[in-house]
Amino acid sequence: MQKQLLDLFPQWVHQKQDANLIMTNDLDSIVSCSILKQVFGYEVNQYYSFSKLSQKDLTDNRECIGVDLAIRKGKTYDNHLTMFNDSSNVNFESANINSVLGISAERYHEKFAMSTAIMLWSLYDLPLPNTLEGKLILLSIDSGFKGHYDERFNTVHNKYLELMGFTELIDILNTYDKSLFEKIVRQMKEQDDRVYRRKSGEIYTNLNLENTSKWLCVHLEVPNGQFTTIQEFENEKFERKYTNDLMDYKSIFSFALTHKNYGMMSTYRKEKQT
């Protein structure tokens, strides 16, 4: 990652924290949590499904760092857009390219529109996968290839890859057609690359983690053990035009703009359960 971008990240990302991780329910979070375990030894102790927050070790009261999660407050690695306009507040503990650069919905076509995983690859100076298949998958996570093939985003997309030190990936995007990446995304979805929690409390995914690990050159895993629900949430869509800056509301756990003018938020539904 180029120094001009690296220096904008919150300082906590450069040192191991006395903390665990919060995994969310998709491939981006699986890969990102696995990277963070490889770099720092972090373990997943919480799982966020957007409707519920579950915890594995209820006796462990250490802070949990969000992974691919736009929490309103606290440490997190994230790729979402949360600023409504250029004067909006941000979570200053969020390791998020959009947040550290102050990109808001008013500059929607300037946003970083790739995965949390590829951001972590750059942030922690990991070597790119040594296979073409691995590079293609990395670009496909969270459909991170799309901006390259959209004339509104192409220049910005290339700029971010350059800032992350991944010009090699620009060459790959220039070489291959968008349809190849769309095929990879379809194959991942056919396998079902999401993360679920069984009624008995175990976390699982249907994705072939062994093969994907080989391609990405990162050992991918989901946590073992039983997770217990500790918090439930209400989820609702919001329109930016009619909504105040959500960073000010303590009732909100997470929120993100999924499009220029609207997004989704999770609000606390009830007190923690035992």
Q: Does some domain include residue 173?
A: no
Task: Give the global pTM.
Answer: 0.95
What is the DSSP annotation of 189-234? Answer: HHH---EEE-TTSBEEE-S-HHHHHHHHTS------SB-EEEEEEE
Q: Distance between CA 131 and CA 137 in Å, rounded?
A: 10
SS3 string, 243-257, reads CCCHHHCCCEEEEEE
Q: Does some domain include residue 182?
A: no
The boundaries of the domain holding residue 80 are 3-126+193-216
Q: Which phi and psi (to 5°) does residue 46 adopt? A: -135, 150
Reading the chain (274 residues) residue by residue, the pLDDT tens digits are 999 999 999 999 999 999 999 999 999 999 999 999 999 999 999 999 999 999 999 999 999 999 999 999 999 999 999 999 999 999 999 999 999 999 999 999 999 999 999 999 999 999 999 999 999 999 999 999 999 999 999 999 999 999 999 999 999 999 999 999 999 999 999 999 999 999 999 999 999 999 999 999 999 999 999 999 999 999 999 999 888 889 989 999 999 999 999 999 999 986 544 4
Task: Describe the crossing of helices 116-123 and 27-40 by its angle, rounded to 10 degrees.
Answer: 20
Q: Does some domain include residue 109?
A: yes
Q: Does some domain include residue 221?
A: no
| Amino acid (1-letter code) at residue 152 | R
Q: Distance between CA 260 and CA 254 in Å, rounded?
A: 17
In this prediction, residue 95 carries a pLDDT of: 98
Task: Please answer whether residues 175 and 222 qualify as being in contact, where contact means their C-beta atoms are separated by less than 8 angstroms.
Answer: no
In this prediction, residue 248 carries a pLDDT of: 86
| Element spanning 131, H or E | none
In this structure, the number of other CB atoms found within 10 A of the CB of residue 9 comes to: 19
Helix (H/G/I), strand (E/B), else coil: 55: strand
Helix (H/G/I), strand (E/B), else coil: 154: helix
In angstroms, what CA-CA distances link 42 with 33, 65, 78?
Answer: 8, 9, 16
Domain count along the chain = 1
Task: Please answer whether residues 202 and 226 qualify as being in contact, where contact means their C-beta atoms are separated by less than 8 angstroms.
Answer: yes
Task: Please answer whether residues 208 and 191 qualify as being in contact, where contact means their C-beta atoms are separated by less than 8 angstroms.
Answer: yes
Q: Does some domain include residue 150?
A: no
Q: Does some domain include residue 210?
A: yes
In this prediction, residue 273 carries a pLDDT of: 47
Q: Does some domain include residue 137?
A: no
Q: Does some domain include residue 172?
A: no
Q: Which phi and psi (to 5°) does residue 166 adopt? A: -115, 50
| Element spanning 86, H or E | none
